[in-house]
């Protein structure tokens, strides 16, 4: 049974399906629960709706890796590196590069 935060975020999405903040919030709730398929789905939709600075790409990469979707995860991490660099987040870019190196 979904917790109260999940239920509230789902209602927000029903009212405003293109609200990226609600999608990201729901993804984080699913991530906490290890519900990787739902996490990946919400992050994917979030990334379709908004320009991310890298964080969501890294989270998507992690979720996809948990699902065994390594090729897609690698693409997400690489997009996260590019986004992080473009938005002035070199530490985040380095973190994602280390994930790829340690693969």
Output the pTM of the full model: 0.93
pLDDT at 3: 84
Average pLDDT (81-102) is 97
In the chain, the domains with their CATH numbers are 4-101 (1.25.40.10)
Is residue 1 pLDDT above 80, yes or no?
no
* Tens of pLDDT, residues 23-47: 999 999 999 999 999 999 999 999 9
Cβ atoms of 83 and 52 within 8 Å: the answer is yes
| Backbone phi, psi, residue 2, to 5° | -65, 145
Q: Which of 19, 20, 29, 78 is nearest to 54 (CA)?
A: 78
Could you please report the per-residue DSSP string of 58-80? HHHHHHHHHTT-HHHHHHHHHHH
């Amino acid at each position: 049974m979904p917790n109260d935060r999940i239920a509230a975020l789902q209602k927000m999405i029903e009212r405003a399906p293109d609200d990226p903040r609600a999608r990201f919030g729901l993804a984080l709730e699913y991530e906490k629960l290890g519900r990787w398929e739902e996490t990946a789905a919400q992050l994917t939709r979030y990334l379709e709706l908004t320009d991310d600075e890298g964080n969501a790409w890294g989270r998507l990469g992690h979720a996809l890796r948990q699902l065994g979707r390594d090729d897609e995860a690698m693409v997400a991490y690489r997009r996260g590196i590019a986004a992080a660099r473009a938005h002035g987040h070199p530490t985040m870019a380095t973190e994602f590069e280390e994930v790829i190196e340690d693969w």
